[in-house]
Structure 1
Amino acid sequence: MSKIIYTLTDEAPRLATYSFLPVIEAYAAKAGVGVESRDISLAARILAQFPERLAPEQVEPDALAELGALADVAEANIIKLPNISASVPQLKAAIVELRSQGFDLPDYPDEPSTPEEKDARARYDRVKGSAVNPVLRQGNSDRRAPASVKQYVRNHPHRMGAWSSDSKTNVATMGVDDFRSNETSTIVENEGTVSIEFFGADGEHTVLRPSVAVKKGEVVDATVMRTAQLRAFFEAQIERAAAEGVLFSVHLKATMMKVSDPIMFGHAIRAYFGDVFDRFGADLAAAGLNPNDGLGALLDGLSALPNGDEITAAFQERLATGPEIAMVDSDRGITNLHVPSDVIVDASMPAMIRSSGHMWGKDGAEHDTLAVIPDSSYAGIYQTVLDDCRAHGAFDPTTLGSVPNVGLMAQAAEEYGSHDKTFEATAAGTIKVLDASGTALLTHEVARGDIWRMCQTKDVAIRDWVRLAVTRARATGAPAVFWLDPTRAHDAVLTGLVNGYLAELDTDGLQIEIMSPVDAMTFSLERIRRGEDTISVTGNVLRDYLTDLFPIMELGTSAKMLSVVPLLAGGGLFETGAGGSAPKHVTQLVKEDYLRWDSLGEFLALAASFEHLATSTGNARAQILADTLDRATATFLDENKSPSRSVGSIDNRGSHFYLALYWAQEIAKQTADAALAADFAQLAGTLAGAEDVINGELIAVQGSPVDIGGYYRPDDAKATAVMRPSATFNDAIASL
């Protein structure tokens, strides 16, 4: 039997799965396709690290490792829903919840000293940040807006905030002494290993990583963020925001960049609360309170200190009298400095651009903002968009073209593969990347506290990326633009490789360009405003940035993008969109039994999964399911059956009912397989006839609090009962 692996993840996508997965299983079975689930949630990943501490019935298999191995075989067909990229506060919260559920887990040690603490910390660090994506993404990325979704948005445009030509919103970035400016890059000549070693100015020698495997032809980079200059930069931007009368807001990615960006976030807090740390920094450090975890964690931990009230008052006084900080939740006083994972640059910047260049102030009103993005590698693209909106006004979804993306991410390419090779310098000295003979390939001087990292990009990934770009350009006829900065070390090396690999491919009749990110953004914006499409061909980080930015302008959300990862081994990974709003949806469900999560991304990924299965296995019924699901999704959009915003209307569960109805109707109408049509004609009739009853059952439960048994690890029985409250709908699906 052909099979699809459907991942169980976190928050709202996990809850939606309780409702939608039974539909998928029932429909797929009629095509001889098995659907199996694998739990790669944060909770499951934590539990998988400590099997020896758990009772036999509590042990979780390492599903992520299993799927990582599966991604390397041609038969892989994995549907991957959004998962938590855990910051330290989220990781600690998940540990607390799991322990309350009876799982014997150790504390997360901030400063491990004993062998047991160091072991626990190492295990927890394996699931911290974006631990899932580098494992599963064993291929490059193809993200685009499906035609049905694009047409729906043109007919039903989302709201875009008006822009003023005198907007004071801008981006601030370092430009010097940062990762971009200090980067060096080389191509490895021979397969083997390299080591990362620290040579202290005082003669100390520490091997940071004794052995990192490298392959012939891969690109290896190293760079350093100088934190003394970073601190001065933050202080200058705080003063600038105050002088210009705009909000101060730091935009990092403390989830995917789980080592470097939390450290930079901590420096932002130290810069803003400089006087507080001058007075009480020793007390905070002695209590294990780390600003890298965010202002919220600091304030929460102060109650245990003898002078906690005094320190709390000092923080609150600075918040009250200092330059205004952008707010995550002004009603609750949650600033952009409270939690490192609250303001993620690829989601927060498009949201700000869509909202007239505004963020929320502590007064609950919108204000112009100074968006502080320390590293200058990609900050310029956002300033380009801000300037474009000042000059030309808000984007119009009814006329916009599209900017699909081909992203280089296979085999943990570029910055996102740097987690285990990122270090905070413990003293002044030199960090070197040495080959097996001891020859230094890359060298950087560092001061105490500087952030050094090494990245790798495999040659096979680069070749596949170039091939995929040409394939998409040929399929669409749109120009393909490689976003590569000739003045950045890594990009300069890639430019030479890209030109060489393009020469080996058939590019006749295609428009393929190489431009710096700022020039590529200008080119793409000019075209998108004319209604023209442009394929962006980018590295891993820009892939994330652009596939939030353009979809939020074009579609209102990145969740409506089709995200396909053609795996290098021949299989397929089908991603279902972003999960940035998922936490708010869970809060609403628990409070009033209403889930606003939009499963459109799941619908799009599922159709692509069935199509891939049909192509790779010759399963004709799988192709019918793919084609009919596409048509059903178009009807779903035309009939506006996505979840509404308020109690008393259809939510995520109702949207699944309508998708099941339209899908059954489309299968019943197709003529390629009469037996399949007959099976689904009966179901379609049952669902259509019971529409009012099913809607009544789904809506009747709304409005009251519900218990799902846990935020990070819901109780399956409780969550199933909440997410499948219509007996009529459940019975109809079971009848298949």
Structure 2
Amino acid sequence: MTNRPTPDIIYTTVDEAPQLAAASLLPIIQAFAAAAGVSVGTRDISLAGRIIAAFPEGLSPEQRQPDDLADLGALVTKPSANVIKLPNVSASVPQLVAAVKELQSQGYALPDYPEDPQSEAEKEARRRYDALKGSAVNPVLREGNSDRRAAIAVKNYAMAHPHSMGTWAADSKTHVSTMAADDFFANETSATLTAAQAGPVRIELLGEDGAVTVLKDGVKFPEGAVVDATFMSARALRAFLDQQIASTQAQGVLFSLHLKATMMKVSDPILFGHAVRAYLAPVFDSYGAVFDAAGISANAGLGAMLERIAELPQASEILAAIDATLASRPPLYMVNSDKGITNLHVPSDVIIDASMPALIRAGGKGWGPDGRAADTNCVIPDSSYAVVYDEAIRYFKETGALDPATAGTVQNVGLMAQKAEEYGSHPTTFEVPHAGTVRMVLANGEVLHSHKVEAGDIWRSASARKAPIEDWVHLAIARQKAENCQAIFWLDAARAHDAELIAYVKPLLAAAGVADKFQILAPREATRLSLETIRRGETSIAVTGNVLRDYLTDLFPILELGTSAKMLSIVKLMQGGGMFETGAGGSAPKHVQQLVQENHLRWDSLGEFCALGESLKFQAELSGNAKALILGKAVDAATQAILDNDHSPKAKVGQTDNRTSHFYFAWAWAAAMAAQTEDAGLAAHFAPIAAALAQNEAKILAELTANEGKPVDLGGYYHADPAKTAAVMRPSQTFVGIIG
């Protein structure tokens, strides 16, 4: 950690719409918290901030900034940690490259991202940049397991004001397609390490000629860790993709690929590239050598390919071949049909945990190139969790859409601490360079896992440690006791990894005397039962691993609430601290585009409000500061007022936006503080603030909306100018003058 003073609460600096919203909301939070003796500061975990911190040597002293992610990584292992974490960009390569170019244009002397590093300097730059890709932040900060659920006020509002749902037809052609063999699920092996097996592990590739290539050395696992290894056959993947392209064509539906090319930053971009090459097979057959010579990679997506192809001498010829191939293939699911952005354009544009729930909410419809909604073949190569979406689609075809006005809720307790499971696999994921056998060799010489592989196969290892697993089970027990409702461990006894977890879960439940309070079901059966439960208006707790935590805390909130950005997400850090996450950021890029074009930000800060209330209450527990508790309870009252009075942001210019929502939040928060009777000093402090906000409502609203409908300049996308951003997000001097 650096020597900077650590504030009581850290509010993370991030990217895109959440960070724009923070420019408006954070000054309000800091002013109100100061009155209760609570300091609120920031640490920068944005993509741009992490890039700057990773390459200090070429920067001026004014440009340099500390490695705030490392700082926070140390803090979350301390009992005093109190962090409000906003959603940050999990960067794909195109996003990383775009951020680097923007910073370079702003005068930052950063190296280019080397696609094919040759020199030692390029290899070192690539190593540093690769550390910033994908889920670089969450594994560092998540030193605890996840307790994620809909806040009561948010759930009540969703039921009273149900969002729109698409109509499901029994004869819908929408379906999930996944691999039947030779994928990560089928090839997985798993073991729980004994004391004799604990320690360093070497991952090596034994070639068919007997030569050994060390892929990774010195990976250490403690006793009790569940260590997995698996691979996906590139040959089987390509055959599957070819089959699905043909099948989609025959069925007359859209072709849609659903991956996690951000969080699974090594494996899934490779899978994405296979899909691009399969879909454009005739083009790659003719021009593959040209692409290789030009350093054009399918892994970056069709959008990046088109930009690079436009620079080639044969550009017109190749582009014509691409157009002809697209015309002959089944129509693609579109990210933006108006702009011609397809499912295969950018790997970070279609993220499974956002795209699949949106499609299911819409009655199984996706947008096609003609701008019309259509049924789709949802292609999810690995079968590990595809069954969840498959069963949900089957269920809704049978029963019709869920009614948000009467639906119950699915809460989640997720195993994610200390880089648990697949999301911690990045340093131990490899595209196999040549045929042979990949082995995990223990320090005692024992071969823990062994897989025979071919060139191009994707091999990976993941793990979950004993302490996080036990903490996860205990958290599930506590949550079930608090809710007294159905609770399900989503674990498949037929899957190698899950079988090892079940061996932990059953004795812990039995020792706590609560085995009868929980069910253990495979994901398909758990999906069906959970949907049946919430259709009856009841509550279920899904106790899951890390990836399912991610998937389900989008799927069920999007069905229940219309969004996953309004969830209450508490990470109970294992050393006693707390981290309060504010929701998903999947729609953030579109919100930024609208702000720049129309000066209207529709980002809803409800997730931030929920996290803030919990953080302040937690601070009261940490410090014994009764004023912080009063302030936190007043946040809850203000959040309820925002919902009751319909002051959440709307989609169009002229309607409530993020800034006007923050004004009403500040007013309601101040009013709640003025009305409370627990602390006369706080009431006296906030009474004139509440009165001034009430008296100046019309003036403040006029100032906030004076320039709506006009373009604005933020000075950057990934690295916006703070002064320009503040001018856009705090345009009411009257409001600023009252709040401070």
With structure 1 as the length reference, what TM-score do the two structures score? 0.99
Post-superposition Cα deviations, 1:191-220, rounded to whole Å, max 9, x if no partner, equal 311111111112331111111011010000
Q: What is the match of residue 360 of structure 1? A: 367
Q: How does 1:431-580 map to 2 (within 5 A)?
A: 431-507=438-514, 511-580=517-586
Q: What is the match of residue 645 of structure 1? A: 651
Determine helix, strand or coil for the equivalent of 1:33: coil
1:52 positional shift: 0.7
Q: What is the match of residue 3 of structure 2? A: none
2:674 aligned with 1:668:
yes
Give the distance between the partners of 1:617 and 1:478, measured in 2 at CA: 33
Moved more, 717-726 or 108-117: 108-117
Give the distance between the partners of 1:262 and 1:296, measured in 2 at CA: 14
Q: What is the match of residue 316 of structure 2? A: 309
Give the distance between the partners of 1:101 and 1:657, measured in 2 at CA: 33
Q: Pick the aligned partner of 1:376 from 375, 380, 383.
A: 383
Q: Is the 8 A contact 1:594 1:703 kept in 2?
A: yes
Q: What is the match of residue 235 of structure 1? A: 242
2:354 aligned with 1:347:
yes
- Identity fraction in percent: 58
Q: Pick the aligned partner of 1:183 from 157, 181, 188.
A: 188
Moved more, 311-320 or 42-51: 311-320
1:650 positional shift: 2.1
Give the distance between the partners of 1:354 and 1:521, measured in 2 at CA: 15
Q: Pick the aligned partner of 1:225 from 229, 232, 254.
A: 232
Give the distance between the partners of 1:523 and 1:254, measured in 2 at CA: 29
* 1:113 partner amino acid: Q
Q: What is the match of residue 92 of structure 1? A: 97
Determine helix, strand or coil for the equivalent of 2:417: coil
Determine helix, strand or coil for the equivalent of 1:304: coil
Give the distance between the partners of 1:363 and 1:51, measured in 2 at CA: 48
Give the distance between the partners of 1:645 and 1:352, measured in 2 at CA: 20
Q: Is the 8 A contact 2:7 2:41 kept in 1?
A: no
1:2 positional shift: 6.7
Q: How does 1:33-182 map to 2 (within 5 A)?
A: 33-182=38-187
1:504 positional shift: 2.4
Post-superposition Cα deviations, 1:614-640, rounded to whole Å, max 9, x if no partner, equal 112211011101111101101110100
Give the distance between the partners of 1:193 and 1:573, measured in 2 at CA: 31
Post-superposition Cα deviations, 1:303-331, rounded to whole Å, max 9, x if no partner, equal 22111221111111111221111111111
* 1:540 partner amino acid: N
Give the distance between the partners of 1:506 and 1:381, measured in 2 at CA: 30
Q: Is the 8 A contact 1:432 1:441 kept in 2?
A: yes
Q: How does 1:667-686 map to 2 (within 5 A)?
A: 667-686=673-692
Q: What is the match of residue 22 of structure 2? A: 17
Aligned CA RMSD, in angstroms, stands at 0.9
* 1:471 partner amino acid: A
1:703 positional shift: 1.2
Q: Pick the aligned partner of 2:204 from 165, 183, 197.
A: 197
* 1:649 partner amino acid: Q
1:579 positional shift: 0.2
Determine helix, strand or coil for the equivalent of 2:72: helix
Q: Is the 8 A contact 1:380 1:518 kept in 2?
A: yes
Give the distance between the partners of 2:359 and 2:206, measured in 1 at CA: 44
1:503 positional shift: 2.1
Determine helix, strand or coil for the equivalent of 1:672: coil
Q: Is the 8 A contact 1:650 1:695 kept in 2?
A: no
Give the distance between the partners of 2:710 and 2:529, measured in 1 at CA: 51
Q: What is the match of residue 732 of structure 1? A: 738
Q: Is the 8 A contact 2:273 2:300 kept in 1?
A: yes
1:684 positional shift: 0.5
Post-superposition Cα deviations, 1:321-359, rounded to whole Å, max 9, x if no partner, equal 211111111111111000000100000000000111010
* 2:611 partner amino acid: A
* 2:84 partner amino acid: I
Give the distance between the partners of 1:675 and 1:54, measured in 2 at CA: 48
Give the distance between the partners of 1:106 and 1:500, measured in 2 at CA: 53
2:401 aligned with 1:400:
no
Q: What is the match of residue 320 of structure 1? A: 327
Q: Is the 8 A contact 1:670 1:677 kept in 2?
A: yes
1:649 positional shift: 2.3
Q: What is the match of residue 385 of structure 1? A: 392
Post-superposition Cα deviations, 1:507-565, rounded to whole Å, max 9, x if no partner, equal 27x62110000111111011100001000000000000000000001101001100000
Give the distance between the partners of 1:60 and 1:223, measured in 2 at CA: 39
Give the distance between the partners of 2:259 and 2:134, measured in 1 at CA: 13
Q: Is the 8 A contact 2:48 2:103 kept in 1?
A: yes
* 1:521 partner amino acid: T
* 1:496 partner amino acid: A
1:578 positional shift: 0.2
Post-superposition Cα deviations, 1:161-195, rounded to whole Å, max 9, x if no partner, equal 11111101000000210000000001111331111
Give the distance between the partners of 1:296 and 1:200, measured in 2 at CA: 36
Q: What is the match of residue 215 of structure 1? A: 222
Q: How does 1:576-595 map to 2 (within 5 A)?
A: 576-595=582-601
2:669 aligned with 1:689:
no
Determine helix, strand or coil for the equivalent of 2:62: helix
Q: Is the 8 A contact 1:346 1:549 kept in 2?
A: yes
1:392 positional shift: 0.8
2:420 aligned with 1:413:
yes
Give the distance between the partners of 1:93 and 1:293, measured in 2 at CA: 12
* 1:187 partner amino acid: T
Q: What is the match of residue 27 of structure 1? A: 32
Give the distance between the partners of 2:567 and 2:471, measured in 1 at CA: 22
Give the distance between the partners of 1:76 and 1:701, measured in 2 at CA: 40
Determine helix, strand or coil for the equivalent of 1:140: strand
Number of matched pairs: 733
Runs of 5+ consecutive residues of structure 1 not aligned to the other structure: none
Runs of 5+ consecutive residues of structure 2 not aligned to the other structure: 1-5
Task: Give every structure 1 segment of 4 or more consecutive aligned residues whose post-TM-superposition deviation is greater than 4 Å.
Answer: none
Post-superposition Cα deviations, 1:229-251, rounded to whole Å, max 9, x if no partner, equal 10000010011111111100000
Give the distance between the partners of 2:115 and 2:499, measured in 1 at CA: 39
